[in-house]
Amino acid sequence: MEQHYVDALKTNNNTITKELYNTNRTPFLNFAKRYNLVEADSVDIYQEAFISLRKHAISDKLYEVNCSLKTYLFGIGKHLIYKKLKENSLKKDYDSILHKINDNYEEIQIDSDNELTEEQQILQYYFKKLGKSCQQMLTLCFYRGLTNEEIAELEGYDSEAVVRSQKSRCLRTLKDLIKTSNP
């Protein structure tokens, strides 16, 4: 394994880390095309694989590895690709089962009116007043629907308990902002 890259990942040397990230990104995305993934999924998988690579460098696991850094990164990525393909397969199976059901249910009409309610406008306004880390945390949790464990892994938190407490603080801050402006 290339020692200088491992050291750069471990010490957060931004110049070398960016170089390493950018050097391997396009080859990985080309590699991922073999699996017929949506490009956005391939990009997400690459980012997740690179984060895992950095975590392994920080925990000194990479000093024992006998392959190249690129091979190791692609191995992590391939594992994540298989995981994504399995999720997509399960979803496709589930969707096909749902579409086979031929009951006579009343069709639900969705109101395509894009106007926000007053509560939604208030929430949107004060959400923008939060710091970037709280916006990110609440977006990952409530918009993307990630679990505390997934957020901890993605964002590099020590445990899901840290995520839970951070999320709680962010929600409390948002509630306080709304409460103080609307007594």
- Backbone torsions φ then ψ of 35, nearest 5 degrees: -100, 5
Run means of pLDDT, 10 residues per run, the chain, 183 residues: 77 85 91 86 90 84 79 88 80 49 44 70 88 88 85 85 91 89 63
Q: What is the pLDDT of residue 53?
A: 85
Q: How far is CA 78 from CA 31, 65, 74, 142, in A?
A: 9, 17, 6, 28
pTM, two decimals, is: 0.49
- Backbone torsions φ then ψ of 41, nearest 5 degrees: -65, -40
- For the chain, which domains are there? 3-98 (1.10.1740.10), 118-181 (1.10.10)
